[in-house]
Amino acid sequence: MELLKGKTAMVTGGTRGIGFAVVKLYLNNGASVALCGSRQETVDKALDKLKAENPDYKVIGLCPDLQNPEEVAKAIEVTKETFGALDIMVNNAGISARDKIYDYKSEDFAKIMALNVNAVFNCAQAAAKVMKEQGGGVILNTSSMVSIYGQPSGVGYPTSKFAVNGLTKSLARELGKDNIRVNAVAPGVTRTDMVAALPDELLKPLIATIPLGRVGEPEDVANAFLFLASDMASYVTGEILSVDGAAMT
């Protein structure tokens, strides 16, 4: 069954990891997708990979600076011109750092907030304007399990994800009357580049605390994004859906 037949989605951070899995699952469910990344080179590589799998995929690649509202609006405009609408906005691009508070640089904190929070605001605002005109839509944000428990180092990252939850719940309440649903997915430890960068001595004890006994795969997380984007979630809004194997770290 194609759960997103005839829908158009934009996915930020779509070149790899969780975002790439979301792009692929959406395409396989009948959606047209604008895949966004931070560099043309990685966007092209992701497009090549998709086209090699299925040359009929309806997908374009874009490289807007998500911290620039004009560039975000332009990317949405291009998506609308190409596919006719914007039904689903997935705000997934994110970065993290694990510095201890004593060494944490103020500019690094600001950098994390700029992409993980301000850019989500920019994209959600621009998407909501278009969706309101269209009569509705879905905005999805990538949060994290650290938005529930915090994290013992790298305070900027969990702080940014707590903000993503606040933004999600508040926008759900503000935009419900415009038929726009807003939800977030909160992944646990997921096998992507972000996790591959973790040293074994950090990863192993982490896995030992996960009741399902493994890290999540990007596809585990993408399935939640599919559900929330689809009409199966037609009465779900303001939800932070954990996909973390019941981890509590």
> Of 54 and 68, which has the nearer Cβ to ligand NAD?
68
Taking the complex as a whole, the smallest distance from the CB of residue 5 to ligand NAD amounts, in Å, to: 26
Kindly tell me which residue out of 27, 93, 117, 224 binds ligand NAD, with binding defined by CB under 6 A: 93
Confirm whether 157 is a catalytic residue: yes
With contact defined as beta carbons under 8 Å apart, do 47 and 61 qualify? yes
Please identify which of the residues 102, 104, 149, 157 carries the catalytic annotation.
Answer: 157
**Residue 170: φ, ψ to 5°:** -70, -45
Strands of the chain, DSSP E: 8-11, 32-36, 59-62, 88-91, 137-142, 180-187, 240-243
Residues in CB range of 148: below 8 A, 6 or more apart: 186, 240, 242
Per DSSP, the three-state class of 168 is helix
Q: How far apart are CA 31 and CA 46, in angstroms?
A: 17
Per DSSP, the three-state class of 241 is strand
Site string for ligand NAD, 138-177 (x = CB under 6 A): ----x-x---------------------------------
> Of 5 and 105, which has the nearer Cβ to ligand NAD?
105
Kindly tell me which residue out of 103, 107, 193, 201 binds ligand NAD, with binding defined by CB under 6 A: 193
In the sheet that 240-243 helps form, which strands lie side by side, from edge to edge? 59-62, 32-36, 8-11, 88-91, 137-142, 180-187, 240-243
Q: Length of the chain, please? A: 249
Taking the complex as a whole, the smallest distance from the CB of residue 27 to ligand NAD amounts, in Å, to: 16
Kindly tell me which residue out of 32, 122, 190, 230 binds ligand NAD, with binding defined by CB under 6 A: 190
Stretch that binds ligand NAD, among 126-134, 176-184, 188-196, 205-213 (CB under 6 A): 188-196
Taking the complex as a whole, the smallest distance from the CB of residue 135 to ligand NAD amounts, in Å, to: 29
Kindly tell me which residue out of 115, 126, 226, 228 binds ligand NAD, with binding defined by CB under 6 A: 115
Q: Which amino acid is it at 122?
A: N
Stretch that binds ligand NAD, among 73-81, 171-179, 183-191, 228-236 (CB under 6 A): 183-191
- Torsion angle, CA of 21/44/36/195, rounded to 10 degrees? 50
- Which residues contact ligand NAD by CB under 6 A? 12-19, 37-38, 42, 66, 92-96, 115, 142, 144, 187, 189-190, 192-195
Q: List the catalytic residues.
A: 157
